[in-house]
Structure 1
Amino acid sequence: MTIHQPQRTWRTLLTTALLLLSTAALADPAKIIRIGAAGTGTGGRPVQGGGSIGSVNIQGLLEEEFKKDGIKVEWSFFKGAGPAVNEALANKLIDFAWVGDLPTLIGKASGLKTKIILANGVLSHTYLLVPADSTATSIEDLKGKKIAVFKGTKMQLAANKILEQRGLSERDFKTINMDVATAQAALATKDIDGAWLTQGGFQLIDRGIAKIIYSTKGQPLSQTSQANLLVTEEFERDNPQLVQRLVKVAVKSAHEISLDANRDKTLQEWSKDGVPFSSWKKEYDGTSLKQRSSPLLDEFFIAFYKDALQSAQKYRMIRGNINFDQWIEPKYVNQAVKELKLENFWLELDAKGNPKVKRGG
């Protein structure tokens, strides 16, 4: 009897394990989808422009998609931007996150169990603004001066890349951590000498409060910033069908945004976040919305994130490493593109940012 007891115990454990796996496979899908966005609209309004996810939220497309299943969609917009999103992910308060490149990298390198499933808001620009009456005309003119940057966000990474190319770093300035709204206010009152901002800074220029002395427009694509949609590994594991449906809605929205006929409508829609229509127009001036709205996780996107990780490590923003092959998951967007028959709609870029020539095309 003693000899056969271990065998019976093993069989019992195996049977139990199979039952648990079977139960998990038959488990009901999630009844709530929680999405976090790295930022808020002006005055804390729960809306943010830019990218397909912004339009999906404004138009209530996910709510429409999942209502027949009784699945609630819950949106959270974080004033603390990327760092606050990472905290929410760490505390399992959200399942998906729309966030910029640097905080995405910081979170993953710090151990957050996530997967990037969609490019959302790519090739965005960063601007260095100074008060309108400032005598500064270049970055070098601000050495030793008070410069604001929202630390832990994609703006900080872009700014550090720009400074490095000029043999400079944050240490050459009195760098102050400020969120976007605070930095804009500080520029208006001249409490700071400059600020790194995105499209929201254009309204300060229109009001005669500030001027741009550096822009990433016209510069190599390596100076731009990227954003993405990610999902927690746990939610993806338990609800792959819901992930696919959500991504398909986003890809369909990205297609609508990309059409020239919808350009002004889209920018007007995004202005609901408080950034004026005129500012959105200036951000996208001379740029194809189709290019900027591509959801593809192409070679450029992947190479950019790999390079961004190395840069962030060099700037001592990140310590850990990332297995990109396991982290970036293109199967959902690829499937959505196929189902929507959009295989040749968006232009894929190679690792250097050049148009990728397909075989036979």
Structure 2
Amino acid sequence: MSLARGLAFSTRRRLLKAAAAAAAAALAFGLAGNAHAAPLGELKLDYAYYSPESLVIKRNGWLEQEFAADHTQVKWILSLGSNRALEYLNSGAIDIGSTAGLAAVLGKANGNPIRAVYIFSRPEWTALVVRKDSPYKTLADLKGKKIAATKGTDPFLFTLRALHTAGLSRDDVEIVNLQHPDGRVALANGQVDAWAGLDPHMAAAQIDDGARLLYRNVDFNTWGFLNAREDFIREHPEALARVLKVYEKARVWIAAHPDDTAKIVAEESKVSLPVAKLQLSRNDFSQPQPGPRQIAALKAAAPILVDEQLVKSGTNLNQIIDTLIDPHIAGAALATAATNNTGSTQ
């Protein structure tokens, strides 16, 4: 879906409807009752090249402005992939982090104390990539070959699901565990035969290296989740609502300023402007509130985690997903965000 089409749904009327629908949830979650909670001393969150909102917010200093009166220090940490974001969340290095949906399920299934509180985009951010001169034409051609992928991330899980469609498993290939930018370099240098790419690195490989997408499947790209630690949700619900208000501000701003957004993404990610525009064209920013659609998609994708023995035997993944995505938490925070953003530029 194009950026323009994806953002067309981002209207003031939709925000107001979302606010009305979530008003009861806001009371249930207790945001109003925590309005007088002690100011937060430090807010720790990540920014990621695959999360355009985070780059826009960081560049414009909007969180620093939001919390300036409380003297809250905002600490930004770069996440190069879902695996890093999940590690930071699990250790408490950050309170809020950006991951792919299925990676968040894997993290929570393995004990990471998180909940999904926002959807920063519905992307097609990963595919299986080969060099422009590669002889490989189909997934079946990758049998016995080396594929670079970052374990615990959406591209890694995408690769496993893709292989299954061709009757292959992880044992039929050699997966080389490399962080996303290193995977691109390994592919270009001929050290691997294919790479599970991630934007903007994937878009850069296409435009700058002439790389070819061997296998695409938008349905195997899970949603971009903003996750918060459960203790942070419990102890600082009002601060969380304010963070999501700023994320909503960024989402609305992206709709009105696509060229400026591309420039920020290019400069922050250190890629060319055409690369940034290609990345953004593969993102749909129209659905910020997690809910039934994400739950259904993740439950359809979750069996790969069992098939590949990535979770403990007997893990109830449906229950994990139900507890990961709590529409009431997201709805409560977004009610505040929608109300405050009604005057924002569309």
**Cα distance change of structure 1 residues 101 and 67 upon mapping to structure 2, 3 Å threshold:** same
The question of whether the paired residues in 2 share the 8 Å contact of 1:118 and 1:333 is answered with: no
Residue 111 (structure 1) aligns with = 111
Q: CA deviation at 1:35?
A: 0.6
Q: CA deviation at 1:251?
A: 1.0
Residue 174 (structure 2) aligns with = 174
Answer yes or no: is 1:283 the counterpart of 2:253. Answer: no
Answer yes or no: is 1:212 the counterpart of 2:213. Answer: yes
**Cα distance change of structure 1 residues 313 and 28 upon mapping to structure 2, 3 Å threshold:** same
Q: Distance in 2 between matches of 1:179 and 1:117?
A: 26
Residue 223 (structure 1) aligns with = 220
Letter of the 1:30 counterpart: L
Q: Distance in 1 between matches of 2:39 and 2:173?
A: 51
Q: CA deviation at 1:248?
A: 0.8
Unaligned runs of 5+ in 1: 1-23, 40-47, 347-361
Residue 98 (structure 1) aligns with = 98
Answer yes or no: is 1:246 the counterpart of 2:243. Answer: yes
Residue 74 (structure 1) aligns with = 75
3-state SS of 1:167 partner: coil
Q: CA deviation at 1:213?
A: 1.9
Letter of the 1:311 counterpart: I
Q: Distance in 2 between matches of 1:25 and 1:193?
A: 54
What percentage of aligned pairs have identical amino acids?
24
Q: Distance in 2 between matches of 1:275 and 1:303?
A: 34
The structure number with the bigger radius of gyration is 1
Q: RCO (CA 8 Å, sep 6+): is it higher in 1 or 2?
A: 2
Q: Distance in 1 between matches of 2:242 and 2:294?
A: 22
Residue 57 (structure 1) aligns with = 58
2:303 paired residue among 305, 310, 315: 310
3-state SS of 1:112 partner: coil
Pairing 1:121-200 to 2, within 5 Å after superposition? 121-199=121-199, 200=201
**Cα distance change of structure 1 residues 250 and 171 upon mapping to structure 2, 3 Å threshold:** same
| Between 271-280 and 68-77, the greater mean CA deviation after superposition | 271-280
Pairing 1:18-33 to 2, within 5 Å after superposition? 28-33=38-43
The question of whether the paired residues in 2 share the 8 Å contact of 1:309 and 1:318 is answered with: no
Pairing 1:8-47 to 2, within 5 Å after superposition? 28-37=38-47
1:117-151 CA-to-partner distances (Å, cap 9, x unmatched) read: 10112232322222222211222222211111111
Q: Distance in 2 between matches of 1:144 and 1:130?
A: 15
| Between 227-236 and 241-250, the greater mean CA deviation after superposition | 227-236
Q: Distance in 2 between matches of 1:206 and 1:222?
A: 24
1:265 paired residue among 256, 260, 263: 260
The question of whether the paired residues in 2 share the 8 Å contact of 1:204 and 1:210 is answered with: yes
3-state SS of 1:201 partner: helix
Letter of the 2:260 counterpart: K
Q: Distance in 2 between matches of 1:337 and 1:64?
A: 16
The question of whether the paired residues in 2 share the 8 Å contact of 1:158 and 1:224 is answered with: yes
1:257-301 CA-to-partner distances (Å, cap 9, x unmatched) read: 123xx212211111121232212322344x5x5x33531213222
Q: Distance in 2 between matches of 1:317 and 1:210?
A: 30
The question of whether the paired residues in 1 share the 8 Å contact of 2:43 and 2:75 is answered with: yes
Q: Normalization by structure 2: what TM-score?
A: 0.79
Letter of the 1:268 counterpart: K
Answer yes or no: is 1:255 the counterpart of 2:238. Answer: no
The question of whether the paired residues in 2 share the 8 Å contact of 1:117 and 1:332 is answered with: no
Q: CA deviation at 1:61?
A: 0.9
| Between 304-313 and 229-238, the greater mean CA deviation after superposition | 304-313
| Between 170-179 and 314-323, the greater mean CA deviation after superposition | 314-323
**Cα distance change of structure 1 residues 280 and 294 upon mapping to structure 2, 3 Å threshold:** farther
The question of whether the paired residues in 2 share the 8 Å contact of 1:49 and 1:271 is answered with: no
Aligned residues: 301
3-state SS of 1:121 partner: strand
Q: CA deviation at 1:253?
A: 1.2
